[in-house]
Amino acid sequence: MDWVKLLLNWYLENKRDLPWRRQKDAYAIWISEIMLQQTRVDTVLAYYTRFLERFPTVRDLAQADIDEVLKYWEGLGYYTRAKNMHKAAGEIVRHHQGVFPQTYREVLALPGIGPYTAGAVMSIAYNQPYPAVDGNVLRVMSRLYLLKKDISQPAVKKEVENLVKQAFPAEQACDFTQALIELGALVCLPTAPKCFGCPIRQDCKAFQENLQNALPSKQKKPARKSVIRYIALIQQGDRILMNKRPADGLLGGLWEFPGVEGKNKKEFCEKFKIKYGVDIFPDSHWMDTKHEFTHLIWEMKIYRCRLDPAETIKETRLQWIPLQELNTIAIPTAFQKIKNTLLNTNSSRGRFLT
């Protein structure tokens, strides 16, 4: 296959200088691959170095509190990745003496590691010829071999894995895996691929038939649903009432301004009572904000609320948090605008008073 050598040469000349490419530590490679799942390089850059400085080894990660790990993950999304990584670090300490496992079977068995990440770690950290098929590789290979079937079908991914396996150059698994991905990231783009800068266009069947813009074929996702969420801003002095979301599910384990889905203020109060066990009295409408997830849209209506003075907080997920400590707990992006507005309001008032 002529294209393999051409691709390798192109990669060695054009690869980006990325922090996870500066060493071969399997632990550090693993962290990068988890962060990069469904996440762009530019986004990860801001997190990667900071995370490794705080958790330089698998033991440091295993010993850390999950809440601190989540704080370092704050804003990165898909928070089960952090939870699974923390769990996997514990397994590596207990079952592998703190040394990152070196066989595909053992790597794949770790929580949060699927076929892609296992292949990436095996090939990039250990230079072993295990295919790592992500969205980039699916796109590159579907064009190169003119695979017209929907790439979301598992059978297509299997076929691409086999094609990559056949193509692996001897002793260059590390570079080859990254070369395929790098080509997808820099040249073989989803829309408007830069075919005339592509080192393997002569071997690309899609390019030959001018079908590069029609591939890969992919089914489109259903429309998102929008829901109204009422948020209670409950402040007493310099403390604000926050809720820690359940460990599993959406934004699991992160902190939020307590709220419920609902149609109106009446439902707001009723559902709040059921969910949190306290009566609230919405005083003033404070602000509105919207947050769009991949699969869901929250239209948030935030009200300043009073509690019954005699009310005590029994729900253990609810906790009074001093305003100064709001920046020390993990709060997802959905609530950052509320948090910042709150902190600005209070700090400007404070300055005015002093």
Partner DNA sequence: AATGCGGGGCG
Partner DNA sequence: CGCCCAGCATT
Among the residue ranges 133-141, 235-243, 300-308, 343-351, the one whose residues contact DNA (CB under 7 A): 133-141
Nearer to DNA, 110 or 280 (CB): 110
Ranges within 27-46 binding DNA (CB under 7 A): 32-33, 36-43
Separation CA 139–CA 141 (nearest Å):
6
Nearer to DNA, 247 or 349 (CB): 247
Q: How far is the CB of 240 from DNA (least distance, A)?
A: 19
Residues 6+ apart with CB under 8 A from 141: 133, 147, 160, 163, 164, 180
C-alpha separations of 304 from 45, 48, 259, 310, 324 in Å: 37, 37, 12, 18, 19
Q: Does 99 bind DNA (CB under 7 A)?
A: no
Nearer to DNA, 123 or 321 (CB): 123
Among the residue ranges 69-77, 162-170, 231-239, 267-275, the one whose residues contact DNA (CB under 7 A): 69-77
Among the residue ranges 47-55, 98-106, 161-169, 287-295, the one whose residues contact DNA (CB under 7 A): 287-295
Among the residue ranges 63-71, 130-138, 311-319, 338-346, the one whose residues contact DNA (CB under 7 A): 130-138
Q: Does 90 bind DNA (CB under 7 A)?
A: no
Q: Does 249 bind DNA (CB under 7 A)?
A: yes
Read off the amino acid at residue 58: V
Instruction: Count CA atoms closer than 13 A to 133's CA, side-chain side.
Output: 22
Q: How far is the CB of 285 from DNA (least distance, A)?
A: 22
Nearer to DNA, 129 or 253 (CB): 253
Nearer to DNA, 40 or 105 (CB): 40
Nearer to DNA, 1 or 250 (CB): 250
Cα–Cα nearest to 160, from 218, 116, 211: 116
Q: Does 116 bind DNA (CB under 7 A)?
A: yes
Residues 6+ apart with CB under 8 A from 194: 186, 187, 188
Nearer to DNA, 179 or 280 (CB): 179
Cα 144 to chain centroid, rounded: 29
Q: How far is the CB of 353 from DNA (least distance, A)?
A: 33
Ranges within 189-208 binding DNA (CB under 7 A): 190-191
Q: Does 76 bind DNA (CB under 7 A)?
A: yes
Among the residue ranges 59-67, 94-102, 110-118, 263-271, the one whose residues contact DNA (CB under 7 A): 110-118
Among 296, 311, 325, 350, binds DNA (CB under 7 A): 296
Annotated catalytic residue 159:
no
Residues designated as active site: 33
Q: Which residues bind DNA (CB under 7 A)?
A: 18, 20, 32-33, 36-43, 75-80, 84, 111-118, 120, 134-136, 139, 153-155, 178, 181-182, 184-185, 190-191, 218, 220-223, 249-252, 291-296, 332-334
